[in-house]
Structure 1
Amino acid sequence: MIAAVSWVPKGAPKAVPDEAQLPSKEEIEEMIKSGTLEEESEHGHSEEEDEDTDIEDVEQTDEVSQALAVADALGKTSKSKNSGTKLDDIADGLKELDMDHYDDEDEGVELFSKGLGDLYYPSNQMDPYLKDKDDEDSEDLEDMVINANDSVIVCARNEDDVSHLEVYVLEESNDGDTNLYVHHHIIIPAFPLCMAWLDCPLKGGEKGNFMAVGSMEPSIEIWDLDVIEEVQPCLILGGINEEKKIKKKKKKKKKGKKSSIEYKEGSHTDSVLGLAWNKEFRNILASASADKTVKIWDVVEGKCNFTLEHHTDKVQAVAWNHYAPQVLLSGSFDRSVVMKDARIFTHSGFKWSVAADVESLEWDPHTEHSFVVSLEDGTVKGFDIRTAKSDPASESQPSFTLHAHDKAVCSVSYNRLAPNLLATGSTDKMVKLWDLSNNQPSCVGSRNPKAGGIFSVSFSEDSPFLLAIGGSKGNLEVWDTLSDAGVSQRFSKYMKPNRADT
């Protein structure tokens, strides 16, 4: 399944991403000392064996490693614990292979020739085998390049108990044709639930290309999208305190006492369900959690600045206002939406009650005072904060109530270019497009993208009428919504002049 999709702004990714560097010997030793690898080693050894094991005992040179592999391949490796016997077997294996004379040519052996200089070619271009290989290498290198005009989409995906971020590249040609392919993927340790892209320069420079990921775990991982085959996030916010966890495990083995989980300072204590990056204050990230809290993080400092506890059930979604970046919206399973001002968290804020669990919410990018919230019962409600009541006993009425789908509306997305154009995705497998003009919603397009139950929809900011769709079948779909007659009729006036009709 695809739990979340997110567009990366054009020009943000590196043209050719870096390759991950393997950890050095010193880093591995530090990981062992800190206990990061201890839990894994306990699966194969007793505690006493682990304490007697020293890193120098397991270090091997490349030659010894190769020799062991050769001896094992020849069936020579002894199961005896006698080290002298092992070395003898290795020596026998190497002697049998006679590796010192491996490159020597056998006398009397003649190669058949086709008359082209006894298989000698003046240049690689004339050698069909090398030429083909050069062409393949050139194509592979070309596929790795991300051009400034390419769109990049990231999917938080789970398949066969393997969770990863899939980084797609969408190439758009001048004639309207598109090519969508997976550029690279990043294996992540836990089932992903939400994402938020951010450009805060965590590794120096002016900007970066990072993806914050919330999962079933209480931690938030931030991955560098410009690094291929990365195995560790560049930053982890919160999570379980592994050092104390390992110490408690040892105490538990010795004393037989059950230990409780200890979390890092400021951490969530349950799954992270929603994330929102603040584009104005680029070091700020908001998170919503099943532990009923909302947290405000400073990603540069790597710590939680504030914890908000104004909900009484799981918090599903958070969103920063586009025009007033200190204003934060949160929606919860307690069937409420709360607006807070980050400058005065002591203020109770404003609250709107809804009839079902909140699935998602989003501020209108074309006005500072409107937002929509989608619910588990298939409805979408619009609210105007100017009508909010300061008295908790007084209930603010929605600007409109839209019965959008037959099942839960898991995701909503405003079009950044065309005012009043909203996309909704539901577990009823449908994606619908709405015109919200005058607070009188009307459906202008719908589609069953064959993606299963829809969990995430997102309009592109750079190509605003392209909609990315992810769902239970695990297939990424990209819908050019302007190809729908209803959308084209009402919103084509917002189309870029140089755009080709598709």
Structure 2
Amino acid sequence: MSMITSTAWVRRGVAAQFPERYEIDEAEISRISKLAKVQLESARTDLNAARNANANDDDNDEEEEDEDEDDVMETTDEVEVEKKEKKKSKPEDDDDLAEYDMEHYDSDPRDEEGDEVTMFGNVQSLAYHQPHEKDPYLVLPNRADGAGDDSDEDREDLQILPSDNLLLAGKVEDEVAHLEVYVYEDAADNLYVHHDVMLPAIPLCVEWLDIPVGNNARESGRSHGNFVAVGTMEPDIEVWDLDVVDCMYPSAILGKAPDDEVEGEKKSKKKTKKSLKKNEEYHVDAVLALAANRQHRNLLASASADCTVKLWDLNDANTTRCAKSYTHHTDKVCSLDWHAKESTVLLSGSYDRSVVACDMRSAEGQVGRWTVPSDVECVRWDPHDANILYITTDSGLVVCHDLRTPDTALWTLQAHDDSVSSFDVNAFIPGFLVTGSTDKTVKIWNVLDNKPSMVVSRKVEEVGKIFSTAFGPDRAVGFRLAVAGSKGVVKVWDTSTNGAVRRAFATKVASAEEMGVREGGAEGEGQGMVGVADDEEDDDDEME
């Protein structure tokens, strides 16, 4: 099984040109050791419980064992007979080994030159090193011509150019959950995996953060960073530093239990997330959506299956509790989006078939509430019109509302027959929408003048059911669309190569060259879709 559940872009020029490799220190080893002890104690508790449960079964089996005792004795006699037969054949084996004189193998204490051979006879040739120095046997010597030094080559492999975009994908493959970090080279039409991060559970949402998070990041004195927040089936939110490769532990965990509870001598296995009650401090169920505030960069909103929306202050050193908690919904909250201009207004959608716009400065500051006929899948504000919002549903609808006329929808569109599982609004081109569905279809829409019309529809069989669609974050890649889904494959579609898209939108941009508009083939041809090439494929096969 392989599946990509969510994706997120990273702007150009944000990532470190040469990411660092993580080096474990003694403090990290000590922390891992403590966690291992906790897990060991939990395993012992489970083992003892299992033994006690099996004790009663063993008493019931004693009678059956008495009945089988005679059979066991007969089997034992047969084994003894086989051993005697083997002993009889042993002298023949000894005769075969006699020519090697194994009995006197260690009797000669001298070597060929007549010197006495001892256990530590080669001690003079041994190399030794002082404490905290590298073992000379484990370090390759640097050659004078530099041919033996691979550090430059490794450094070049990790390099990220200022013209590259990063694409983050939450993936589960063969029951292993991880975050894949891709590098997208637009000029070369190239997409490849740069590194990945192991996750504790299936990822459900990812959100890029541009603020330093964690004690080490704060101590560095940086004002900007390159981090990602990941929501999973667990109630905790992990924040990882994207400029560090092979990192073993996240920079911060939002909602993590206190250290004295985690590192205690015994941790009750009965205390699961299902038994925890909804509270005002942290989530107790899966995190379904994340939204970073781009104007108040220290604010991160999270939505959970525990029916709450929580607001986190990333500047707060205490990451075990949120800044505020909101209970505007009665069912799972699955989607969030901050308003582009009213930076404190958050839009939230829920399986209770309602959407709420709330001013996060007050607990009950609802700006509006809308209902739809089926479960909400995605909610988005229109970045070009502060009064417009979009809602997609499980029944395939896209509903557009205006804050000035809350009682009726501006328009309702039956975009797909199946669930509209993914949705995005282009930040650089007005009226440019995309919908992705579990019917494996991606559709481009033009909604200018509140008259939605389909521009192009594309079946993406190689991706499977569509779970994520996202437009590029920079003007130069505004026409690029990341598509991912149930087959664990991510593709970047240059929609400008489609003639219908160019006719609908290319004339509405100030500079086609600045927006990266490209001429493509005839409509319906599979051009402009770039993915990660298989090891067996040639470079010429990367563009389909």
TM-score scaled to structure 2, two decimals?
0.71
Which of 306, 314, 331 is the aligned partner of 2:332? Answer: 314
Which AA in structure 2 matches 1:205?
A: R
Measured in 1, the distance between the counterparts of 2:29 and 2:277 equals 25
Deviation at 1:402, TM superposition (A): 0.9
Q: Does residue 333 of structure 1 match 2:351?
A: yes
Change (3 A) 1:340 1:447: same
**Retained in 1: the 8 A contact 2:358–2:364?**
no
Larger radius of gyration: 2
**Retained in 2: the 8 A contact 1:217–1:239?**
no
Query: How do residues 348-363 of structure 1 correspond to structure 2 at under 5 angstroms?
Result: 348-363=366-381
Q: Which runs of 5+ in 2 are unaligned?
A: 49-117, 128-142, 520-544
Which residue of the partner structure matches residue 451 of structure 1? 463
Change (3 A) 1:329 1:47: closer
Change (3 A) 1:385 1:95: farther
Deviation at 1:252, TM superposition (A): 8.4
Query: How do residues 363-378 of structure 1 correspond to structure 2 at under 5 angstroms?
Result: 363-378=381-396
Measured in 1, the distance between the counterparts of 2:208 and 2:256 equals 20
Measured in 2, the distance between the counterparts of 1:8 and 1:250 equals 39
Change (3 A) 1:96 1:264: farther
Measured in 2, the distance between the counterparts of 1:264 and 1:98 equals 68
**Retained in 2: the 8 A contact 1:218–1:240?**
no
Which residue of the partner structure matches residue 52 of structure 1? none
**Retained in 2: the 8 A contact 1:357–1:376?**
yes
Change (3 A) 1:23 1:40: farther
**Retained in 2: the 8 A contact 1:240–1:262?**
no
Measured in 2, the distance between the counterparts of 1:479 and 1:250 equals 48
**Retained in 1: the 8 A contact 2:38–2:265?**
no
Which of 157, 168, 174 is the aligned partner of 1:154? Answer: 168
Which of 464, 480, 483 is the aligned partner of 2:478? Answer: 464
Q: How many residues align?
A: 415
Which AA in structure 1 matches 2:471?
A: F
Q: CA RMSD in A?
A: 2.9
**DSSP 3-state at the match of 2:224:** coil
Measured in 1, the distance between the counterparts of 2:396 and 2:267 equals 50
Which residue of the partner structure matches residue 381 of structure 1? 399
Query: How do residues 392-407 of structure 1 correspond to structure 2 at under 5 angstroms?
Result: 396-407=407-418
Deviation at 1:405, TM superposition (A): 1.0
Which residue of the partner structure matches residue 35 of structure 2? 36
Which AA in structure 2 matches 1:439?
A: N
Measured in 2, the distance between the counterparts of 1:267 and 1:9 equals 30
Measured in 2, the distance between the counterparts of 1:138 and 1:349 equals 56
Which residue of the partner structure matches residue 70 of structure 2? none
**DSSP 3-state at the match of 1:367:** coil
Q: Which runs of 5+ in 1 are unaligned?
A: 50-93, 104-121, 254-258, 389-395
Change (3 A) 1:46 1:427: closer
Which AA in structure 2 matches 1:422?
A: L
Change (3 A) 1:45 1:441: same
Measured in 1, the distance between the counterparts of 2:277 and 2:404 equals 43
Q: For residues 269-300 of structure 1, give each alpha carbon's deviation from its aligned partner in whole angstroms, at most 9, with x where no partner exists.
A: 11000000000100000111100111111011
Measured in 2, the distance between the counterparts of 1:265 and 1:313 equals 17
Deviation at 1:171, TM superposition (A): 1.2
**Retained in 2: the 8 A contact 1:245–1:262?**
no
Measured in 2, the distance between the counterparts of 1:347 and 1:263 equals 21
Deviation at 1:454, TM superposition (A): 0.5
Which AA in structure 2 matches 1:267?
A: Y
Which residue of the partner structure matches residue 282 of structure 1? 297
Deviation at 1:98, TM superposition (A): 5.8
Measured in 2, the distance between the counterparts of 1:263 and 1:288 equals 13
Which AA in structure 1 matches 2:339?
A: N
Deviation at 1:461, TM superposition (A): 1.9
Measured in 1, the distance between the counterparts of 2:278 and 2:369 equals 30
Which residue of the partner structure matches residue 497 of structure 1? 513
